[in-house]
Amino acid sequence: MESHQVNQDLIKERGRCTFNVKELTHVLDGGEHITTKRKQYEDLVFSIKELKDEIPEEYLSHKDRYENAVRKATILKNISIKYLKENTEDSTYGYVSRTVYGIIKDVSPFLLHSGMFVPTIAGQSTPEQKEEWLEKAMSMEIIGTYAQTELGHGSNLRGLETTATYDNNTEEFILHSPSLTAYKWWPGGLGSTVNHCIVVAQVIINDKSHGVYPFIVQIRDLQTHMPLPGVKVGEIGPKMGFQTANNGFLGFDNFRIPRKNMLMKNAQVLKDGTFVKGINEKLAYGTMVLVRVNIVWDCFVHTALASTIAIRYSAVRHQSRIRAKEPEVQIMDYVTQQDKLFIVIASSHAFNNMHTKLWKGYSKVMEELTQGNQDNLSELHATSCCLKATCTRDAALLVEQCRLACGGHGFMISSHLPILYGVTTAAVTYEGEQTVLYLQTARYLMKAWAAALQGKVLSPTVAYLTDWLSKTCQKWHNTPEGIAAGFRHVAAGKIKAAFDAIQKHTKAGHDPEVAWNMASIQLVKASEAHSRALLSEVTWSETLRKASTVSPNLGQVLKQLAQLYLVYWTLNISGDLLVYSNISKDNLAILRERYEDLLAIIRPNAIGLVDAFDFRDEILSSTLGAYDGRVYERLMVEALKSPLNREPVNASFHKYLKPFMEKAKL
């Protein structure tokens, strides 16, 4: 770096900000004391020089890159395990998890250890099992992953082929992969890293299948790391992202484990082979819901990262002129650029708000469950399904929009945007594929609609169906509340349409199951509309709540962002609103202008808004997004790290190019 001055445009932008950036940072962190703790933790992590790569890992071979990731992951874990023991507040997850983006950009091989292995032991074990494994897992005396998905089976859990056959002579389960498609495939860390895993397998006792249950299985020797006899394990190869996640495959050849390795908090297999069904199989939903709630948090972080990079770059980059006789302008002054980017900031806040609400809902339902009350579990499950589906796809599209808005330079890995896209888009598929999740929510919505028709009282998130039945012809209002109401009308209209479509197909003689498939495009759209109704209502109400507790200037900015979000989506689904609500063309024309007005209002605060996300340069890990805006110097510095640039002439010239050119002369 030639100098450490901050780019002049950024200095100017920071001077224009109308609100207190630090105050917003505290709001997003959840309080000033958490900001302080976060920064202390970041100081701790980023003071370690060994976590910084001399040569960016993208230049390395697949194998070297993995080894380097293991090296860094162990250093990082040494810090975070200790820290998490001493800091057990809920808020810790957020800031501990976000440091990793700057260190192991393309996913740690330990991701599923902390994300699934430990929570599954914690959530599905008996007290004795916890005693045996939980502490070891948490301290990483053993390293594990969660092996459920198989080469031939993902979405359909019941179709898993791996068997766990009980042998009551030896009191063991025999794990077996009866075919190639039965191989476990995908678990992070499984390739070469873990020595244990949770294996989900079909329990078979006396030739009778009892369904799929989780087992804890040691797969490698703790001293030598050799795969145990009967275990075939390896890595699955390169992917679109997650290059250092070390995803693996796993097959069993009549591999025996003790009976007590079945996680028996719910269902149990007794010594004599008696199968005891779990009293409440639904309790296992808890972990699944928690993972999806956390994914909505990730959507917040990913869009916050991407918008920080793209907005700072857009303030620094000058290109072309608005007035022919004036100098080239900051590209953020183009209204089309504002159109691409400000919605990303607004969406990031919407995801944050939605996460707050979901987290509260999750905590409440978990609390109720401990008291034996399951009344709100299916609603929570349905809500988390469609919101996971919508937020991940929105986040992926928005991250990609940021990348595209940075022109060619957004295509550079050193911008961090391509890796961020890989990580974000993966979430559309993992932990419940988008369409599959929408259809799960749709089941809940169809039941809710049937109940509404029968005049039953509905759960809060679908109560709008009853309202809609009683007064379909509501006047449209161009206010945030009016827009949120309009979105509920769209959702209700689409839920009804999907319901009617099923009825129609059934009446035409199709089985209900076939009719469901025939109506599934509409069912998916109904679920999506339901999630948009939830997002718009929640982001507005959460914004109002927040705004009432902060300085007036900041409150106003938060409301502007939420309004932008609502108006953007109104214009985006105008076709649905014109069909299912009473919005008029004139309303739309007014909102189109309001949208442009909001872009102009937000413009001077754009840099302040992304500064408030408060990502350190080490976390952003981006040539385009650093705090000082020295974009071009950084691009060149990173390029010069290429091993190809270490030598003036690459060996391929003498080996291939020269003989080739000489042949051409003949």
Catalytic center residues: 431
Residues within window 620-649 making contact with a second copy, judged by CB under 8 A? 632-633, 635-636, 638-645, 648-649
Q: Is 377 in the site for a second copy (CB under 8 A)?
A: no
Instruction: Name the segment binding a second copy (CB under 8 A); options: 24-32, 100-108, 196-204, 317-325.
Output: 317-325
Residues within window 37-56 making contact with a second copy, judged by CB under 8 A? 56
Nearest residue (CB) to a second copy, 227 versus 230: 227
- Choosing from 23, 48, 59, 368, the residue that interacts with a second copy (CB under 8 A) is 59
Q: Is 664 in the site for a second copy (CB under 8 A)?
A: yes
Nearest residue (CB) to a second copy, 149 versus 466: 149
Give the whole-angstrom CA distance, residue 422 versus residue 415.
Answer: 13
Collect all residues with Cβ–Cβ distance below 8 Å to 557 and sequence separation of at least 6.
Answer: 18, 19, 24, 602, 605, 609
Token representation of residue 476: 């449209």
Nearest residue (CB) to a second copy, 349 versus 494: 494
Least distance to a second copy, CB of residue 348, Å: 21
Token representation of residue 627: 């705090």
The answer to whether 437 touches 381, Cβ cutoff 8 Å, is no
Give the whole-angstrom CA distance, residue 627 versus residue 633.
Answer: 13
- Coil/strand/helix, residue 163: strand
Q: Is 1 in the site for a second copy (CB under 8 A)?
A: no
The answer to whether 254 touches 176, Cβ cutoff 8 Å, is yes
Residues within window 269-298 making contact with a second copy, judged by CB under 8 A? none
| Torsion sign (Cα): 36, 40, 43, 45 | negative
Least distance to a second copy, CB of residue 243, Å: 9
Angle at 606 between CA 600 and CA 612, to 5 degrees: 150
Token representation of residue 560: 């502007």
Least distance to a second copy, CB of residue 160, Å: 12
- Choosing from 47, 61, 470, 548, the residue that interacts with a second copy (CB under 8 A) is 61
Angle at 422 between CA 420 and CA 425, to 5 degrees: 100
- Choosing from 151, 492, 502, 598, the residue that interacts with a second copy (CB under 8 A) is 151
Nearest residue (CB) to a second copy, 47 versus 61: 61
- Choosing from 87, 91, 192, 506, the residue that interacts with a second copy (CB under 8 A) is 192
Nearest residue (CB) to a second copy, 140 versus 204: 140
Instruction: Name the segment binding a second copy (CB under 8 A); options: 190-198, 253-261, 342-350, 352-360.
Output: 190-198
Give the whole-angstrom CA distance, residue 629 versus residue 9.
Answer: 9
Binding residues for a second copy, rule CB under 8 A, total 137
- Choosing from 451, 463, 518, 601, the residue that interacts with a second copy (CB under 8 A) is 518
- Written in H, E and C, the secondary structure of 435-446 is HHHHHHHHHHHH
Residue whose pair of structure tokens reads 């230049």 in the numeric block: 59
- Choosing from 478, 520, 541, 582, the residue that interacts with a second copy (CB under 8 A) is 520
Q: Is 241 in the site for a second copy (CB under 8 A)?
A: yes
Residues within window 571-590 making contact with a second copy, judged by CB under 8 A? 573-579, 585, 588
- Choosing from 218, 376, 435, 506, the residue that interacts with a second copy (CB under 8 A) is 435
- Choosing from 31, 178, 258, 407, the residue that interacts with a second copy (CB under 8 A) is 407
- Choosing from 37, 403, 489, 496, the residue that interacts with a second copy (CB under 8 A) is 403
- Choosing from 1, 11, 335, 590, the residue that interacts with a second copy (CB under 8 A) is 335
Nearest residue (CB) to a second copy, 246 versus 352: 246
Give the whole-angstrom CA distance, residue 474 versus residue 110.
Answer: 52
Residues within window 85-124 making contact with a second copy, judged by CB under 8 A? none
Give the whole-angstrom CA distance, residue 574 versus residue 486.
Answer: 11
Give the whole-angstrom CA distance, residue 533 versus residue 544.
Answer: 17
Q: Is 156 in the site for a second copy (CB under 8 A)?
A: yes
When computed from its CA atoms, the radius of gyration of the chain, rounded to whole angstroms, is: 27
Least distance to a second copy, CB of residue 35, Å: 30
The answer to whether 307 touches 348, Cβ cutoff 8 Å, is yes
**Residues paired with residue 95 on neighbouring β-strands, in sequence order:** none
The answer to whether 230 touches 221, Cβ cutoff 8 Å, is no
Nearest residue (CB) to a second copy, 164 versus 245: 245
The answer to whether 299 touches 427, Cβ cutoff 8 Å, is yes
Least distance to a second copy, CB of residue 320, Å: 4
Least distance to a second copy, CB of residue 324, Å: 7
Nearest residue (CB) to a second copy, 556 versus 574: 574
Token representation of residue 224: 């030598």
Give the whole-angstrom CA distance, residue 352 versus residue 346.
Answer: 10
The residue type found at 5 is Q
- Choosing from 224, 370, 371, 470, the residue that interacts with a second copy (CB under 8 A) is 224
DSSP state of 101: G
